[in-house]
Structure 1
């Protein structure tokens, strides 16, 4: 058998491809080394915060893959009326654990040696299992499609609550909570940016392959959660943040400060709007698309605008040296009302893009303001409880907003936005009337 000619065109093309893959592999390895170095900088590696950052990367990468897979199956292949009914039913059921069970999770986990790490890992493992179930359901059009998809949503929201309680336990010296949460959020953005193109390529082979890719990501995230430092489980010396109407807590518990209560109430507005916008527009654009624009492109415009706004908000908040939380959350509420009014009056492509952009930007800035207020006004021993309770409240606001969006009539298109204007305006007035009567203080973010 003759040896291949090294000067042949085939050998030349093979060498080019080989060199290309080699360059890609080296570039990927360099990127991973730089990312690891950045995540472990300023003591984050020694404190264990870097492990949580890596875990959050896999979490958001998996969520992005699930969203891409279901975009073409959950909303665009099932009849609209059937989809709305099933999504409304299961989304309504998600309100139960957030409203009743979530306040009990922290004290319950304190009784176990590895409670929080396993709780975080459980939210990952559940999503891994459900992604594998979904991969089969999208092929066979099984009745498990909607329960599994909403189960992924519930587990994702539950992860947000359990992670929020872990961050204060992993702070390096001279690190602020705002800075730590900013670094975690940035890792999530990187996770989406890296995962979305891969999931997009996998979707060419079918949505089930994207879900199998998500399964692998959530398995990696589960392992990362279990490998978090043991201090994540420690609750020694901690107390609870007591909301209005609550009288009992652990030793050292404190009542929620007025400034924190205001920031939390104000944050509920942007979170409600985010849930409303996603669910309402998912069905609205499908039933009443704008002339000359495809449903998929319009949906991508809204979702892309929200993602871009969230990225911009994280970058702005992370780059600010100082922040005035009360002014920021108030401005976000006003901006949200304004952009929804604009969407109601001038419904169209530009209005939809602005709705997504402002919703994402406002949600990010408002959450950083809440973090800064908790850092400033809540004693350190109660901050883990404060983050868990605040995230539970915000997740519930998102679910209520999503449920409202599904319940809205789709015709005429402006009706739902009109209702959103009334709800946001009324909530803004309610929040403003309970604003603490003192000069807003500036918070050092530590960036």
Structure 2
């Protein structure tokens, strides 16, 4: 089946349609926002000129959310997820407005980092809420297809949003020294406003949880969050399959993150001119576009083979494909190798992620899904920050190291060998 036919098969579900509108607008805005942030933090010739500087940027933007994450995760199991989507996008709209104001006023770099950190933290919260709510609007026997379709449509929307952000970046007039980021951020704000509207199409109780927390109980529950999060970790560990799935996802994310940071540097130094940020950003946008093709392939292949291949086996195949993509970069740093690797590795990572999403949803009861997917987002970000730190310590200034690319390829194989020994069936325990 193709992505279009999978969408048609699910489109009769009203809840799926409404959640799709929300996801497309939200992640389309994400794409434009990420282009704006990349332009301001990673492609300005006066900043982020080395792997260490880029690693610092990623750490500042993502690492604090791993601290915030545990305290917002249980709320996904308590607060109405539709309200999270509505107000979360409104908060992001306000944050984008504040960033634009700071750019116009030539504000200090630290203020931009703080505002971007808040917006990105809310983004992870929203994605976890949408994923945790998906089983409420899609039957269990269609979850695999929905997990392939909805995140991939979101990824495509993010890529389109990034492309639109890149185009307006080049054609819009420079309104300040940071004008390279201005137009993309304005577009992101418009999309976030649209996502807030789309959230109103969903019923207040449509995404769950089944027993939301009453407003008067919020303070009491906040004091119990650490215990509840620990209980969630213990539950996933006892169930085995979701715990191991999160482990392999974090390993894939770390290895993909190394390639992502290298791609930024290669786009700046090899494919583009580091003194011409618009050219470097254009080169990186091309790499992201090819990566989007890989995500689309994963959306087609994963449901197509899902009825014949176990989820865990599919993850092992994806790890092997990821290793093959990295080998291309170990052979050459030429544009053809980078673009081909972007397609192959992105397909492998997205295919594995779809299977991991399904395993965690399938083997986790609804009362724990919010915590499960908040833990998912935490390890997702920790792995990416770890990748940035490793890249900062190991990559040369131009981003290309044949030795590191070969090590990453071998690491994919090592992860596959470890995961091959993981249990295939969830352990039977009480909720």
Relative to the length of structure 1, the TM-score reads 0.73
Work out the CA distance in 2 between the residues paired with 1:345 and 1:194. 30
Distance 2:294 2:329 in 1: 17
The answer to whether residue 58 in structure 2 is matched with residue 91 in structure 1 is: yes
Matches within 5 A, 1:45-60: 45=14, 48-60=15-27
Counterpart of 1:232? 207
Which residue in 2 is equivalent to 1:134?
99
Q: Which runs of 5+ in 1 are unaligned?
A: 1-33, 239-244, 442-447
1:317 aligns with 2:302: yes
Q: Distance in 1 between matches of 2:405 and 2:120?
A: 23
Q: Point out the more displaced range, 352-361 or 404-413.
A: 404-413
Mapped pair 1:168 → 2:135:
yes
Map of 1:348-427 to 2, 5 A cutoff? 348-379=334-365, 382-411=368-397, 413-415=399-401, 418-419=403-404, 421-422=406-407, 425-426=410-411
Distance in structure 1 (CA, Å) of the matches to 2:229 and 2:184 = 48
Please list every run of 5 or more consecutive structure 2 residues that lacks an aligned counterpart in the other structure. 174-180, 214-226, 427-431
- Judged with a 3 Å threshold, the aligned counterparts in structure 2 of structure 1 residues 288 and 149 are, in CA distance, closer, same or farther, namely farther
Distance in structure 1 (CA, Å) of the matches to 2:336 and 2:75: 48
Pair 285,190 (structure 1): closer, same or farther in 2 beyond 3 Å:
closer
8 Å CA contact 1:61–1:196 kept in 2: the answer is: yes
- Offset of residue 424 of structure 1: 6.0
* Root-mean-square deviation (Å): 3.9
Change over 3 Å in CA distance of 1:94–1:217 after alignment to 2: same
Higher alpha-carbon Rg = 1
* Equivalent residues of 1:98, 1:392 under 8 A apart: yes
Return the TM-score normalized by structure 2. Answer: 0.75
Counterpart CA distance in 1 for 2:253 and 2:422 is: 25
The structural deviation recorded for 1:422 is 3.1
Contact 1:94 1:399 in 2 (8 A): no
**2:199 pairs with 1:217:** no
CA distance in 2, matches of 1:284, 1:150: 25
Does residue 303 of the first structure (1) align with residue 277 of the second (2)? no
Contact 2:128 2:377 in 1 (8 A): yes
The Cα shift of 1:168 comes to: 2.1
Distance 2:300 2:319 in 1: 20
- Residues 272-306 of structure 1, C-alpha deviations (whole Å, 9 max, x = no match): 23322222321343234479x96345323321221
**Paired residue total:** 392
Classify 1:269/1:215 alpha carbon distance in 2 versus 1 (closer, same or farther; 3 Å): same
Between the aligned partners of 1:193 and 1:376, the Cα distance in structure 2 is 28
Aligned position for 1:24: none
